[in-house]
């Protein structure tokens, strides 16, 4: 398997504050990678640098053979159509129906006029309905998005990303606002997407145990630096404490079925 995404010595400054410091890693096609770390460690910034929702200050990003940081406005839009994004707060247009929100994922492929008029082809609509069916939301298709539960809203967010036919899914804290059951459903869907559709998934997580359970690989970020990059099995309690900058016993987490403070 070859690398779909390669990040080299990426840095990001907000004024004088360095949010990311020489971050380098690569993600193979079809891989499910979790980024863990404390709040404010730079996880969101890192994710947003990939599709340039945040402009990196230094470094290089190569996605599918394309140098992302050198793209002009038009090519950037084209690149973004190949990268789906999922947000903590779902970022749906609440007053529109579910199916309308899902079809928004196709707007990147349209000209200004076709996009503005909402001219979607029959295949596109069929694809959107198919994805909603797969995510168990077909019955909610014509409901307004603000009538859905949090878990359902996040599934609409996933559907909107999938209808783009992306090669990569960027998920920014997808389960941080959800209850445990809805969280499990969302993570199961993301894992399923990665396994059955071969889409690469890069996900920011707060919950260490979720990262360990679902990921092929875990990246630990602390104060803008990568402090761990490897398979979940090799992640020790000691390394987790290094990521979160805490002492033994200072964390509530679950390592392999042991619910305890480690």
Partner 1 sequence: MPPYDPIVRKRAAAIGFLLILAALAAAAMAITEFSVTRGLASVPKAVLWGFSNFYPDQAALEKLPDILDKLLDTVLMSVAAATVASVFAFVFALFGSRTTMASGMFARLARGVATLFRNIDVAAWAMILLFSFGQSDLTGYFALFFFSFGFLTRAFIETIDEVSGSSVEALRATGAGFVPIVVHSVIPSALPLMLSWLLFTIETNIRSATLVGILTGTGIGFAFNLYYKSLNYHAASLVVLVIVAAILLIEAVSNHVRRVIL
Q: Could you tell me if 240 and 253 are in contact, meaning their C-beta atoms sit under 8 angstroms apart? A: yes
Strand (E) or helix (H) holding 100: helix 98-103
Least distance between partner 1 and beta carbon 256 (Å): 35
Q: Which of 11, 57, 91, 165 binds partner 1 (CB under 8 A)?
A: 91
Q: Which of 77, 192, 230, 236 binds partner 1 (CB under 8 A)?
A: 77
Q: Which of 44, 45, 61, 84 binds partner 1 (CB under 8 A)?
A: 84
Least distance between partner 1 and beta carbon 54 (Å): 11
Q: Could you tell me if 163 and 132 are in contact, meaning their C-beta atoms sit under 8 angstroms apart? A: no
Q: Which of 12, 43, 104, 155 binds partner 1 (CB under 8 A)?
A: 104
Q: Which is nearer to partner 1, 169 or 240 (CB)?
A: 169
SS3 96: coil
Q: Which is nearer to partner 1, 162 or 243 (CB)?
A: 162
Provide the 10 A C-beta neighbour count for residue 243: 22
SS3 224: coil
Residue identified by tokens 């609440």 is 94
Q: Which is nearer to partner 1, 39 or 111 (CB)?
A: 111
Interaction of residue 21 with partner 1, rule CB under 8 A = no
Per-residue contact flags (x/-) with partner 1 for residues 106 to 125, judged by CB under 8 A: -xxxx-xx-xx-x-------
Task: Report the largest interatomic distance among the alpha carbons of the chain, rounded to a whole angstrom.
Answer: 59
Question: For residue 97, what are its two tokens?
Answer: 């129906």
Interaction of residue 15 with partner 1, rule CB under 8 A = no
Residue 195 β-bridge partners: none
What span, in angstroms and rounded, lies between the C-alpha atoms of 91 and 161?
12
Q: Which is nearer to partner 1, 58 or 77 (CB)?
A: 77
For 205-220, letters b (16+ CB in 10 Å) and e give bebbbbbbebbbbbbb
Q: Which of 87, 214, 228, 244 binds partner 1 (CB under 8 A)?
A: 87
Least distance between partner 1 and beta carbon 248 (Å): 39
Q: Which of 41, 83, 137, 178 binds partner 1 (CB under 8 A)?
A: 83
Could you tell me where the beta strands, DSSP code E, fall in 29-112? Answer: 32-36, 58-63, 66-67, 83-86
In sequence order, the 6+-apart residues with CB closer than 8 A to the CB of 85 are 51, 53, 161, 169, 170, 171, 172
Q: Which of 8, 78, 249, 250 binds partner 1 (CB under 8 A)?
A: 78
Dihedrals phi, psi of 94, to nearest 5 degrees: -60, -30
Q: Are strands 217-222 and 200-205 parallel, antiparallel or unpaired?
A: unpaired
Q: Which is nearer to partner 1, 74 or 258 (CB)?
A: 74
Interaction of residue 174 with partner 1, rule CB under 8 A = no
Interaction of residue 153 with partner 1, rule CB under 8 A = no
Least distance between partner 1 and beta carbon 108 (Å): 3
Report the interface residues with partner 1, using CB under 8 A.
Answer: 51, 53, 76-81, 83-85, 87, 89, 91-96, 100, 104-105, 107-110, 112-113, 115-116, 118, 157, 160-161, 164, 170
């Amino acid at each position: 398997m070859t690398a779909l995404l390669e990040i080299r010595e990426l840095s990001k400054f907000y004024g004088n504050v360095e949010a990311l410091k020489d971050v380098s890693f690569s993600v193979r096609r079809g891989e499910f990678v979790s980024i863990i770390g404390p709040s404010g460690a730079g996880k969101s910034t890192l994710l947003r640098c990939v599709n340039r929702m945040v402009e990196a200050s230094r470094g290089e990003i190569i996605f599918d053979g394309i140098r992302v940081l050198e793209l002009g406005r038009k090519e950037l839009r084209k690149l973004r159509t190949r990268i789906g994004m999922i947000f903590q707060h779902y970022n749906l247009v609440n007053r529109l129906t579910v199916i309308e929100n899902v079809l928004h994922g196709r707007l990147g492929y349209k000209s200004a006029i076709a996009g503005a008029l909402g001219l979607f082809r029959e295949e596109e609509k069929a694809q959107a309905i198919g994805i909603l069916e797969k995510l168990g939301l077909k019955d909610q298709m014509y409901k307004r998005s603000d009538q859905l539960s949090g878990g359902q809203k996040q599934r609409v967010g996933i559907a909107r990303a999938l209808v783009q036919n992306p090669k990569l899914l960027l998920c920014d804290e997808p389960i941080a606002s959800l209850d445990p059951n809805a969280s499990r459903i969302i993570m199961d869907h993301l894992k399923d997407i990665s396994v059955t559709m071969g889409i690469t998934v890069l996900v920011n997580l707060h919950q260490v145990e979720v990262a360990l359970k679902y990921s092929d690989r875990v990246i630990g970020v602390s104060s803008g630096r990568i402090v761990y990059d490897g398979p979940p099995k090799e992640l020790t309690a000691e390394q987790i404490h290094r990521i979160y900058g805490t002492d033994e016993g200072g964390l509530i987490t679950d390592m392999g079925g042991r619910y305890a403070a480690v």
